[in-house]
Amino acid sequence: MAEVLVVVETTGAVGAAGGYGVKKVTLEMLTLARELGEPAAVVFGAPGGAQELGAKLGEYGAVKVYAAEGEQITAHLVAPKATVLAELIRRVQPAAVLIGSTQEGKEIAGRVAVKLDNGLLTDVVALAADGTATQVAFAGSTIVKSRVTRGLPLVTVRPNSVTPTPAPAAAPAVEAVAVALGENDTLARVVERVAEQKGTRPELTEANVVVSGGRGVGSADNFKLVEEIADLLGGAVGASRAATDSGFYPHQFQVGQTGKTVSPQLYVALGISGAIQHRAGMQTSKTIVAVNKDPEAPIFELADFGVVGDLFKVVPQAAEEIRKRT
């Protein structure tokens, strides 16, 4: 069976205090890869990383881990990763290549496509064994089916598109990949790394529970109410674009077409109307709860459980009830 290369997205750093791990999108891609061939993970980073992640990757079906590690990778931006990946693809001739639809993933994919003169599909939500990819366009209103017709299926996979499912555990073999770079690959050098200050809340795109506030929350100060519910439920905080544009909450927490895509078990929308661009980022959530004072708000078309009411009355009561049960 041909290999399916999955480029691993990681959290933290090898040996760092916060730990080193695999992002959920990687587990989603490994789950998808199992349908297409033999999953082989590709780890870029500091020495020892592939070994450290091997067990987790094996748990989701990776039978092999290619390790491209060392200073040549960590000291530069994406160019070395694209060069190494393109070379690996030439050598292995995989059935498909899956890369996370993240900022870095898309940049690697674009560079690889140019290097190999290969077609590329981005933001794919499903990939069939015959290479037919599914993309969701125009804020979820149009489903596009397409296929790479030049070269092999090279796709970036949109996070939260596939439910990650463990496979019968295998201990993948780790194979070191030679890193042979050209002059152009090392032009941009990393001069400093600053660790992002993280709170205790889970990462928005990885969280099982997301509580989002919209314009109806009214002010940055009132967002404490949204944070309170999120903390009680062990969830992440999100916001609509109207809320971030109004300065109620930082832009990196925006959910929607031009923000983050989330797919939690529970999505709570407080004072959000449910515009199509917001729905594009959260409509695949398993259970959607909405609080809105307007019974005609479009969010109620999507909600599994809706409360028509003033969020400043409803939310404190909900918090009280949650507290009693935890």
Ligand X SMILES: Cc1cc2nc3c(=O)[nH]c(=O)nc-3n(C[C@H](O)[C@H](O)[C@H](O)COP(=O)(O)OP(=O)(O)OC[C@H]3O[C@@H](n4cnc5c(N)ncnc54)[C@H](O)[C@@H]3O)c2cc1C
Residues that bind ligand X in the complex, under the rule CB under 6 A = 214-216, 240-243, 254-259, 271-273, 275, 277-278, 281, 291-294, 297, 310-312
DSSP state letters, 159-223 = TTSS-----S---PEEEE------GGGGSSB-----PPP--SSPPGGG-SEEEEE-GGG-STTTH
- Nearer to ligand X by Cβ, of 83 and 212: the residue is 212
Of the candidates 261, 249, 257, which has an alpha carbon nearest to the alpha carbon of residue 275?
Answer: 257
Task: Give min distance, CB of 27 to ligand X, in A.
Answer: 25
- Nearer to ligand X by Cβ, of 31 and 273: the residue is 273
- Nearer to ligand X by Cβ, of 62 and 291: the residue is 291
The CB-side HSE value for 6 (13 A sphere, CA atoms) comes to: 32
Of the candidates 324, 310, 213, which has an alpha carbon nearest to the alpha carbon of residue 270?
Answer: 213
Of the candidates 258, 224, 266, which has an alpha carbon nearest to the alpha carbon of residue 242?
Answer: 258
- Nearer to ligand X by Cβ, of 108 and 243: the residue is 243
Task: Give min distance, CB of 136 to ligand X, in A.
Answer: 14
Which residues, listed in sequence order, are joined to residue 255 by a DSSP beta bridge? 260
Task: Give min distance, CB of 126 to ligand X, in A.
Answer: 22
Helix (H, G, I), strand (E, B) or coil at 106: helix
Of the candidates 56, 295, 26, 5, which has an alpha carbon nearest to the alpha carbon of residue 177?
Answer: 5
Phi-psi group of 244: left, alpha or beta (phi > 0 → left; psi -120 to 50 → alpha; rest → beta): alpha
Q: Are 115 and 83 in contact (CB under 8 A)?
A: yes
Task: Give min distance, CB of 292 to ligand X, in A.
Answer: 4
Which residues, listed in sequence order, are joined to residue 254 by a DSSP beta bridge? 239
The pair phi, psi for residue 21, each rounded to 5°, is: -150, -175
Task: Give min distance, CB of 211 to ligand X, in A.
Answer: 14
- Nearer to ligand X by Cβ, of 72 and 257: the residue is 257
- Nearer to ligand X by Cβ, of 175 and 203: the residue is 203
Residue nearest to ligand X (CB): 256
Task: Give min distance, CB of 282 to ligand X, in A.
Answer: 9
- Nearer to ligand X by Cβ, of 153 and 271: the residue is 271
Task: Give min distance, CB of 291 to ligand X, in A.
Answer: 6
